Amino acid sequence: MGEQRKEIIRIDGIYHCPECGSRRILIRKQCVVYKVEDANSGKQLNPNTLKAQMSNREKAWEYDKASGEGVGCWNYECKKCGWYSEIYTE
Ligand SMILES: [Zn+2]
């Protein structure tokens, strides 16, 4: 029997840290990013143009549009004291 992690506290829709009471709560969630690679060379391709060049801006866009839907895996973390919750799944 391991030590039970404290659960996130939610009051009126606002998340609070169960350790220090801070509202500086982060959610870390797993998201799906679809990559396109050349099957033989393993080279990463731009998923839109299928060319090898991919700008940092395009990479950032892929990150931003990555969805957590269907993955359903996340945890909470306090930015102030470092507390973090267990991993929740849908
Ligand atoms: Zn805290």
CB-proximal residues (5 Å) to ion ligand 1: 17, 19-20, 22, 78, 80-81, 83
Distance separating alpha carbons of residues 25 and 21, to the nearest angstrom: 10
The pLDDT score that the predictor gives to residue 80 is 98
CA of 4 to the centre of ligand 1 (A): 16
Q: What pLDDT is stored for residue 26 in this prediction?
A: 97
Residue 2 is predicted with a pLDDT of 56
Give the tokens for residue 32.
């799906």
DSSP code of 2? P
Q: 17 C-alpha to center of ligand 1: Å?
A: 5
- pLDDT tens-digit map of 9-55: 999 999 999 999 999 999 999 999 889 999 999 999 999 899 999 89
